Amino acid sequence: MSKKLLPWEKIDRTKEGWEIAKDLLIMRKEKKFELVSFKDIIEKTEDTSATDWWDKVIPGYGSGLWCPIYYAITVSAGVRNSVLVIHGAQSCVTATRHFFVLYVGGGGNYYWGNPFTFVVSTDLDERDNILGAPEKLRKALIEADKIHKPEIIFVAPTCGPGMIGEPIEEVIEDVKPELEHAQEVVYLDMPGFKAIDEGDMMRLAATGYWTKLMQEPKKKIPGAVNVIGDYRGTYWEERDGVKANFPTTYDEINSILKALGLKLHVIVPQSSLEDIRRAPEAEFNIVNCPMLAYPICEEMKQRFGIPYSPHVYPLGREGITNYIMAFAKHFGKEKEAQKLIDERWDSMGIEPLWQEAKKLVKDKTVFMDSAISMTSVNRQLGYARMLQELGVDPKKIIFFNIGPSEILGRREGVEYYLTTSAAGKPFNPMFLWWPAPYAIKLSPIEVADWLGVKDEEILHLYGDLGWYTKAPRWDASNISQVQSSIHFRRHRNVCQRSILFSGTKALLRDIILAIKGSRRKGKWTLYSRILGDWQVPELVPPTEREREF
């Protein structure tokens, strides 16, 4: 492959965007794809947030990509007893309420249990958006403080005030002395046009804001560990008294820490202001979502000297061991940790499932699909790493439909994975590369045919929504399919992020059932018949069918 992977290496960049789009359609038709490794992508792809990249992307990026203001609202929404004041048109708040907050994460969330979010909009009209309306922000802040009585207020601008350079920080500083209830007012400078890649949005939401709220610890709490970087299900039963339908990730982490004589201290960023202030009392930080966590961890390391472990997505015995041993080592509890890992692996009945799954995936080619960008590359890498540990040939782990910009946007997480290994081999899965942007997704059928892989050899982790589950060929009855999004992957007694011991066990069970289930050929699911062709099989009277047994 060439040194650089930007589209203009493969296409005539002097052309206009629409002509490039035409070339891409032709490339797709002619299947001009190639397989590269993740390392290649990281090392050889230029900065995808560059103007040049996006200027040539026609039609523009879209499906499944969000907006920085969504992240501003979502990440800060779960901070307890907070109120958000969005300076701008109300439409952005309603947009966020409509989908993102309810189903993806943040406050008032259906699937993650976070409390309802009060989001005040200054409701700027056309004139305000052009000429500015700092007085409206000022009044909204004072009234929201008086009426809601919040502990903390977050302020964020939408595109309009962001574009005209509204003096938001000045207004906040000016109004602060007048507030009776809010102890802090945080300005999140994240208007909608500020970033394109989700990874960049998360980095924006994580960097600089949270450690500012923290205070120098009066004391260190021995054995205290923070978990950094999450906006979903940020509570645990023992402390909050909330028994979730699906235990939170923190319920499982808490049980592990307790077993080692350690203590789960604070979840950052979504805790109460008081807890965020106390976070530096911890001795060690561990990570949940790398994009939200790494900036905060780095800042806490620099400001408070708190070390952290970069490990994420603990799935599989190696993944779990690395994750737990990182903090166990810090506290000199390696032996206890090893014992705990062995005991849980055994007592939860994971080993027999592991062995069964190992046999079933042996010759599989794994399709790591990302039908929409919500399927975070870092989560997918976590699944892939476990599959490598299970014995899948690393050359047969194929990622596709993840835009190079998405990978680069989440660079820190990807770089972490590339430092790890599984089953004694460096972890560096394959990536089906071609210069199309987000807008053009490949169907797994195209990928399978291009690779020359037979249907029965495929294990398809299909990301967020199985858009391409289409009868007659692509269906759970014919292809081994495993859901790999975060919010759909819920199971009883499995922690919400589907990681650690419970997540590993659930994933193994899903893999086994998916592979076995793909033998029921000709019995298409409703979903695939709805999305694809509605196949009506040859009708066999029940009596004859029974005789076949």
Partner 1 sequence: MAHAYKPYLWIDQYQPSAMFGSVMALSGIDGVELAFHGPSGCYTIAGHIRTDQAPMGTYSAMRPSGITEDNLVMGTSMDKLRQLLKFIKLESEYARRKPKLLAVVNTDSTAITGDDIVGVAKQFEKETGVPSISVDAPGFKGWDITGYDLAYRALLTKFAKPNVAKKPDSVNLIAPYLLSSQNWLFDFEGIKDLLNKLGLSINCVLTRNTKIEEIENFGAAQVNLMLTNEDLPFFTKETEKLGVPSFGADLPLPYGLVNTEEWYAGIAAKFGKLEKAYELLKETSKKVKRVLGFNYSYTWQSNLMMQKRAALIGRAHFVASMARFLYYDLDIYPEIVVLQAATKESVDGATRLLKSMEKDGMTVNIIVNPPYIEFARAIKSADIDFVLGSRIEKTLVEGMGIAHHSIGSSFYFNTFRYIPFPYVGYEGVLYLVQELGLAMEDMFHEREGWKGMKFKNI
Cα(5)–Cα(188) distance, integer angstroms: 34
3-class secondary structure, 473: coil
φ/ψ of 190, rounded to 5, equals: -140, 60
Choose the binding region for partner 1 from 105-113, 293-301, 346-354, 506-514 (rule: CB under 8 A).
Answer: 105-113
Q: What is the DSSP string of 32-48?
A: --EEEEHHHHHHH---T
Q: Does 68 bind partner 1 (CB under 8 A)?
A: yes
CB count within 10 Å of CB 412 equals 17
Beta bridge partners of 482: 461
Choose the binding region for partner 1 from 118-126, 336-344, 359-367, 391-399 (rule: CB under 8 A).
Answer: 118-126
Cα(399)–Cα(430) distance, integer angstroms: 6
Cα(206)–Cα(301) distance, integer angstroms: 15
Cα(168)–Cα(189) distance, integer angstroms: 9
* Beta carbon nearer to partner 1, 131 or 221: 131
Site string for partner 1, 223-252 (x = CB under 8 A): --------------------x---------
3-class secondary structure, 480: strand
Q: Least distance from C-beta 244 to partner 1, angstroms? A: 12
3-class secondary structure, 252: helix
* Beta carbon nearer to partner 1, 251 or 299: 251
Q: Does 116 bind partner 1 (CB under 8 A)?
A: yes
Burial of 527 (0-12, 13-18, 19+ CB in 10 A): middle
* Beta carbon nearer to partner 1, 55 or 170: 55
Touching partner 1, residues 165-224 (CB under 8 A): 192-194, 196
Contact 317, 345 (CB under 8 A): yes
Beta-sheet pairing, 263-268 with 224-228? parallel
Q: Least distance from C-beta 99 to partner 1, angstroms? A: 5
Beta bridge partners of 118: 83
Q: Least distance from C-beta 246 to partner 1, angstroms? A: 15
3-class secondary structure, 210: helix
Q: Least distance from C-beta 292 to partner 1, angstroms? A: 18
Q: Does 90 bind partner 1 (CB under 8 A)?
A: yes
User: At which residue do the structure tokens 């059928």 appear?
Assistant: 445
Element (H, E) at 322: helix 316-330
Q: Least distance from C-beta 69 to partner 1, angstroms? A: 6
Query: CB-based contacts of 364: which residues, under 8 Å, 6+ apart?
Result: 392, 396, 457, 458, 459, 480, 515
Q: Does 493 bind partner 1 (CB under 8 A)?
A: no
Touching partner 1, residues 335-394 (CB under 8 A): none
Return the amino acid letter for 78: G
Among 4, 13, 31, 139, binds partner 1 (CB under 8 A): 139
Among 74, 76, 82, 158, binds partner 1 (CB under 8 A): 158
CB count within 10 Å of CB 81 equals 16
Among 6, 11, 75, 89, binds partner 1 (CB under 8 A): 89
Among 4, 63, 342, 449, binds partner 1 (CB under 8 A): 63
Q: Does 115 bind partner 1 (CB under 8 A)?
A: yes
Among 8, 32, 40, 61, binds partner 1 (CB under 8 A): 61
Cα-Cα end-to-end distance for the chain: 53
* Beta carbon nearer to partner 1, 88 or 280: 88
Q: What is the DSSP string of 211-265?
A: HHH----SSPPTTEEEEES--SS---HHHH----SS--HHHHHHHHHHHTT-EEE
Report CA Rg, the chain.
25
Q: Least distance from C-beta 161 to partner 1, angstroms? A: 10
Choose the binding region for partner 1 from 11-19, 290-298, 476-484, 509-517 (rule: CB under 8 A).
Answer: 11-19
DSSP class of residue 52 equals: H
Among 132, 160, 403, 404, binds partner 1 (CB under 8 A): 160
Choose the binding region for partner 1 from 133-141, 277-285, 311-319, 477-485 (rule: CB under 8 A).
Answer: 133-141
Structure-token pair, residue 199: 């990874």
* Beta carbon nearer to partner 1, 43 or 125: 125
Q: Does 163 bind partner 1 (CB under 8 A)?
A: yes
Contact 162, 193 (CB under 8 A): yes
Q: Does 120 bind partner 1 (CB under 8 A)?
A: yes
Q: Least distance from C-beta 18 to partner 1, angstroms? A: 4
* Beta carbon nearer to partner 1, 199 or 316: 199
Q: Does 30 bind partner 1 (CB under 8 A)?
A: no
Q: Does 534 bind partner 1 (CB under 8 A)?
A: no
Site string for partner 1, 35-54 (x = CB under 8 A): ----------------x--x
Q: Does 436 bind partner 1 (CB under 8 A)?
A: no
Q: How far is CA 469 from the centre of its chain?
A: 22
Among 1, 4, 25, 362, binds partner 1 (CB under 8 A): 25
Contact 82, 114 (CB under 8 A): no
Cα(175)–Cα(18) distance, integer angstroms: 49
Choose the binding region for partner 1 from 83-91, 167-175, 291-299, 491-499 (rule: CB under 8 A).
Answer: 83-91
Q: Least distance from C-beta 496 to partner 1, angstroms? A: 16
Q: Least distance from C-beta 207 to partner 1, angstroms? A: 17
Q: Does 16 bind partner 1 (CB under 8 A)?
A: yes
User: At which residue do the structure tokens 């014919």 appear?
Assistant: 478
Q: Does 95 bind partner 1 (CB under 8 A)?
A: yes
Q: Does 136 bind partner 1 (CB under 8 A)?
A: yes
Among 28, 32, 97, 176, binds partner 1 (CB under 8 A): 97
Cα(235)–Cα(244) distance, integer angstroms: 9
